[in-house]
Amino acid sequence: MVGKPGRRIVSGLLSNIRNAYKVDFVIANAENASGGFGVTPKVVTELLDYGIEVLTSGNHVWDKKEIIAWFDKDKKSLLRPANYPAGNPGTGSVVVSTASGEKIGILNIIGRVFMASVDCPFRTAIKEVDKLRQETNTILVDIHAEATSEKVAMGWFLDGKVSAVVGTHTHIPTADETILPEGTAYITDVGMTGAMDSVIGMKKEIIIERFLTQRPQRSKVAKGNVELNAVIIDVDPQTGRSTSIKRLRMDITSVHP
């Protein structure tokens, strides 16, 4: 979700989506939810009130320093990537119960290709998955990464070990949703929820000027037409294998901050 426009469309559509698709559990990436960079405790509370059960994040999770206080008091509703170095606040994985009473594990991992150096996402992922599988077979992984190859590799690496590997970070939805041979649902990028007439949710004029001049420009969240991108995943809770993954793309015109 990018800024207030992204939050507004979630508030307007999520309840209908839950009813239409009989959704048991909602996970959303919130690292750009507050002004396009980071997330504040106030916005975390807002998003949870909309009906989102767990929020994942990525490299921008630290942009709003006040979020540290949230990590200190709540380690279940907001995750930060598990492969940040030891000693960072918060946690990268959690097991919670769905509306139907089934347990689900959520793991947040960040990639290393074209991004800051962190602990190995693959070794961290398998270590965390082994822990989660002691409590549940239903596990979703948010792989927050720049490189398509790294996300695809993570999907194959975890096929049969988790229910779903879902990519975030690049904001552009991909059309490669699939069920891998061992039952893991996969998509390279879910896509953003934010302004359509933009460059990844930011005012296009500013970004174009940055490319033309190569001078620093402060990005600002775009307004106007807004889209919501998501995937709906069906999982057999007995086996943890996914049976379907469906891309969802919806828009509402003129949703303003």
Q: How far apart are CA 82 and CA 58, in angstroms?
A: 10
pLDDT higher than threshold 80 for residue 256 = no
Q: How far apart are CA 72 and CA 212, in angstroms?
A: 43
pLDDT of residue 257: 43
Phi, psi of 105 (to 5 degrees): -100, 135
* Residue 37 within a domain: yes
Contacts of 168 (CB under 8 A, 6+ apart): 29, 56, 58, 142, 143, 144, 189, 190
What CATH number is associated with residue 212?
3.60.21.10
* Residue 71 within a domain: yes
* Residue 227 within a domain: yes
Q: How many helices (H) and strands (E) does the chain have?
A: 6, 11
Q: How far apart are CA 134 and CA 166, in angstroms?
A: 22
- Cβ burial of 130 (10 Å; 0-12, 13-18, 19+) is exposed
pLDDT higher than threshold 50 for residue 29 = yes
* Residue 257 within a domain: no
Q: pLDDT tens, 179-193?
A: 999 999 999 999 999
Q: What is the pTM of this model?
A: 0.94
User: Could you count the other beta carbons within 10 Å of the beta carbon of residue 178?
Assistant: 13
Catalytic pick from 60, 144, 169, 171?
60
Angle between helices 41-49 and 3-21 (to 10 degrees): 20
Residue 120 structural domain: 3-252
* Residue 216 within a domain: yes
User: Among residues of the chain, what percentage have pLDDT more than 90?
Assistant: 91
Task: Let me know how long the chain is.
Answer: 257
Q: How far apart are CA 196 and CA 181, in angstroms?
A: 34
Measure the N-to-C terminal CA separation of the chain; round to a whole number of Å.
13
pLDDT higher than threshold 80 for residue 235 = yes
* Residue 101 within a domain: yes
Q: Angle at CA 37, nearest 5°, toward 55 and 249? A: 60
* Residue 77 within a domain: yes
pLDDT of residue 253: 53
In this prediction, residues 102-131 reach a mean pLDDT of: 97
* Residue 138 within a domain: yes
Contacts of 69 (CB under 8 A, 6+ apart): 41
CA 158 to chain centre: 18
Domain count, the chain: 1
Q: pLDDT tens, 83-104?
A: 999 999 999 999 999 988 999 9
In this prediction, residues 206-222 reach a mean pLDDT of: 94
What DSSP string runs through 207-228? HHHHHHH-------B--SSEEE
pLDDT of residue 255: 47
Is 60 a catalytic site residue?
yes
